[in-house]
């Protein structure tokens, strides 16, 4: 994980000092617009209007350091300030509750004059994070090869690291998470029309849950990943499930795939592809899908206008959690399909609130086992980064800033227009 810079060093130059002074002047204008109680004991307030009673509360412990971080990189500084302990949720306040008002109003609460400064203050995405063949391998390893033992601490027994699909009106708890993950997997397999006669390509193995479930239907599965850690455990899990003979697990980039398949499934893989490579990703699905075949991708989605506004800027989550990652919008996917493939988008099934609950359960599981996380070599800064990532993601889905959907893509039959 990338270390957090010392805040004092960020303000060591005249230009940095000027940026910090400007940030100190502008921050109250922005923060006054969010439904959060921000308290800075012993320092000038960062919020200058009285908050309504009962709002979630933030305690700012080192306001000068936090301002320096925000001035240096607004999209990175808030998260790094949390990692460093410059601010925290108040006692009795949940971190996702604190972050939800920001996710809900992020676009509308920033005054137009400040939005026009985006090109000046946003940091460009580093070139080494491009998802070339070599870059993708580095980016995937940076997250997914952290440790299988780490992910096992907070995921359910299926080791599914993507949104579950909960039943409407049913309890959404750790006890029901496994069933909800299997429901998500079965929904994807059903949408892809996978049966015992199907040949299946899975792009993004995870820890093998979908491949195993498809093989249990009688399908023959080729599944690819760039994570050595995931591939090793997926092979073990396939062996333990008695379906090793039906699953070919490959350490392979999606751009290196060969062969034709009746179905292609890819669960929350597109977020790691990079916008530059979306055409190649969908062309790969198109090229390796039999005529009349069906593909299903599960994708995290954001608003198209928000994507256009932020696509070129470097964010905290790219720096510390998912290097090279970018979340698409549904219109962006549709534009890519229309311009670069023969695939038709024939079904969209959204379930963003299921993701909010999935993330809430993951975070509770992570927090309950912090002693074991520390035993894996994680320090407090790394732990706070993971807590911030899970909580902010939960807030994004809870407020509708983010969504998730399963998309069915179909390769038309040659005689479709006859």
Query: Which pLDDT tens digit goes with each residue over 262-294?
Result: 999 999 999 999 999 999 999 999 999 999 999
- Bridge partners of 347, per DSSP, are 408
pLDDT tens for residues 240-265? 999 999 999 999 999 999 999 999 99
The pTM assigned to this predicted structure is: 0.92
pLDDT at 314: 84
- Average the pLDDT over 207-228 and give the result: 97
Asked whether residue 414 carries a pLDDT value surpassing 90, the answer given is no
Least confident span in 19-23, 119-123, 124-128, 340-344: 119-123
Asked whether residue 346 carries a pLDDT value surpassing 90, the answer given is yes
Mean pLDDT computed over every residue of the chain: 90
Give the total residue count for the chain.
418
Alpha helices in 52-208 (DSSP H): 63-72, 74-84, 95-109, 112-115, 118-121, 133-144, 148-154, 174-191
358 three-state secondary structure: helix
Span between the terminal Cα atoms of the chain, in Å: 56
Q: Is the dihedral of CA 352, 353, 356, 359 positive or negative?
A: negative
Q: Is the dihedral of CA 175, 179, 185, 191 positive or negative?
A: negative
For 29, half-sphere exposure in the C-beta direction (CA atoms, 13 angstrom radius) is: 11
pLDDT at 1: 67
User: Using 50, 70 and 90 to split pLDDT, how confident is the model at 106?
Assistant: confident
pLDDT tens for residues 285-330? 999 999 999 999 999 999 999 999 888 788 899 999 988 889 999 9
pLDDT at 324: 84
* Extents of the domains making up the chain: 7-121, 129-410
- Its CATH architecture, for the domain 129-410, is 3-Layer(aba) Sandwich (3.40)
pLDDT at 418: 40
- Residue 321 and residue 84: Cα distance in Å, rounded? 16
**Residues 275 and 210 sit within 8 Å (Cβ to Cβ):** no
Buried b (16+ CB within 10 A) or exposed e, 25-58: ebbbebbebbebbbebeeeeebbeeebeeebbbb
- Residue 111 and residue 122: Cα distance in Å, rounded? 16
Q: What percent of the chain has pLDDT over 90?
A: 69
pLDDT at 144: 63
Least confident span in 147-156, 165-174, 382-391: 165-174
Strand pairing category for 87-89 and 57-60: antiparallel
Asked whether residue 123 carries a pLDDT value surpassing 70, the answer given is no
Two tokens at 11?
A: 């303000």
User: Using 50, 70 and 90 to split pLDDT, how confident is the model at 415?
Assistant: low
pLDDT at 168: 87
Rg (CA), the chain: 22
pLDDT at 117: 56
pLDDT at 272: 92
Backbone angles phi, psi at 71, to 5 degrees: -65, -40
Asked whether residue 345 carries a pLDDT value surpassing 70, the answer given is yes
pLDDT at 356: 97
pLDDT at 163: 98
- Average the pLDDT over 359-374 and give the result: 97
More confident position, 99 or 173: 99
Q: What percent of the chain has pLDDT over 70?
A: 90
């Amino acid at each position: 994980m990338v270390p957090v810079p010392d805040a004092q060093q960020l303000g060591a130059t005249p230009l940095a000092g000027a940026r910090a002074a400007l940030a100190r002047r502008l921050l109250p204008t922005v923060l006054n617009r969010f439904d959060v109680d921000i308290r800075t004991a012993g320092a000038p307030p960062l919020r200058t209007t009285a908050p309504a009673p009962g709002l979630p509360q933030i305690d700012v412990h080192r306001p000068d350091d936090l301002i320096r971080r925000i001035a240096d990189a607004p999209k990175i500084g808030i998260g790094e300030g949390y990692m460093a302990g410059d601010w925290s949720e108040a006692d009795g306040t949940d971190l996702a509750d604190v972050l939800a008002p920001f996710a809900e109003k992020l676009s509308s609460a920033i005054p137009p004059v400040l939005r026009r400064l985006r090109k000046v203050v946003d940091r460009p995405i580093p070139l080494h994070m491009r998802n070339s063949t070599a870059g993708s391998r580095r980016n995937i390893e940076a997250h997914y090869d952290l440790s299988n033992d780490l992910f096992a601490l907070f995921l359910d027994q299926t080791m599914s690291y993507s949104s579950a699909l909960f039943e409407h009106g049913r309890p959404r708890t750790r006890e029901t998470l496994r069933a909800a993950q299997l429901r998500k997997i079965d929904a994807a397999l059903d949408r892809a029309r996978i049966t015992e006669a199907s040949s299946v390509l899975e792009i993004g193995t995870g820890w093998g849950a979908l491949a195993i479930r498809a093989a249990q239907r009688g399908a023959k599965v080729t599944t690819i990943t760039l994570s050595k850690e995931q591939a090793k455990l997926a092979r073990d899990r396939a062996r333990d499930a008695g379906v090793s003979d039906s699953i070919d697990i490959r350490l392979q980039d999606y751009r290196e795939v060969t062969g034709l398949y009746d179905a292609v499934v890819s669960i929350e893989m597109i977020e790691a592809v990079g916008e530059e490579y979306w055409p190649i990703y969908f062309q790969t699905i198109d090229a390796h899908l039999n005529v009349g075949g069906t593909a299903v991708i599960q994708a995290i989605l954001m608003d198209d206008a928000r994507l256009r506004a932020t696509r070129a800027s470097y964010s905290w989550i790219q720096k510390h959690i998912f290097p090279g990652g970018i979340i698409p919008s549904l219109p962006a996917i549709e534009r890519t399909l229309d311009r670069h493939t023969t695939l038709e988008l024939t079904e969209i099934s959204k379930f963003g609130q299921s993701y909010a609950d999935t993330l809430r359960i993951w975070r509770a599981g992570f927090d309950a086992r912090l002693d074991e996380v520390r035993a894996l070599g994680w320090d407090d800064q790394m732990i706070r980064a993971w807590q911030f990532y899970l909580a902010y993601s939960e807030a994004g889905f809870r407020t509708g800033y983010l969504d998730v959907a399963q998309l069915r893509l179909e390769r038309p039959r040659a005689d479709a227009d006859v």
